[in-house]
Amino acid sequence: TISRAAFNDLILQTRSFQDIAKAGEAKVEGDPSALLAWFSALETAPFWFNVVEP
């Protein structure tokens, strides 16, 4: 569970999930290491990536 404000920070990459969890703004049910492994597998796309290429 995560607040909307904390989710926005996560999506905008202004705070990490670890920082949000340490602040008590997120609650993980189950294995937290599985969630952290999933976050580490995500790639950051370049800001001006081509959505459609000819």
Say which residues have a Cβ less than 8 Å from residue 3's Cβ, sequence separation at least 6.
25, 26
8 A C-beta contact, residue 6 and residue 15: yes
Answer whether residue 26 is part of any domain: yes
- Using the structure block, give the residue that is written with the tokens 């602040």: 23
- Using the structure block, give the residue that is written with the tokens 């370049």: 46
- For 19-51, how does the pLDDT look when each residue is reduced to its tens digit (9 = 90+)? 998 999 998 899 988 988 888 888 887 878 788
Question: What is the total count of domains within the chain?
Answer: 1
Supply 13's token pair: 């990459």
Answer whether residue 54 is part of any domain: no
Answer whether residue 46 is part of any domain: no
Q: What pLDDT shows up at residue 53? A: 77
Answer whether residue 47 is part of any domain: no
Q: Which domain holds residue 22?
A: 4-41
pTM for the model stands at 0.63
Answer whether residue 11 is part of any domain: yes
Q: How far is CA 2 from CA 27, 47, 48, in A?
A: 7, 25, 29
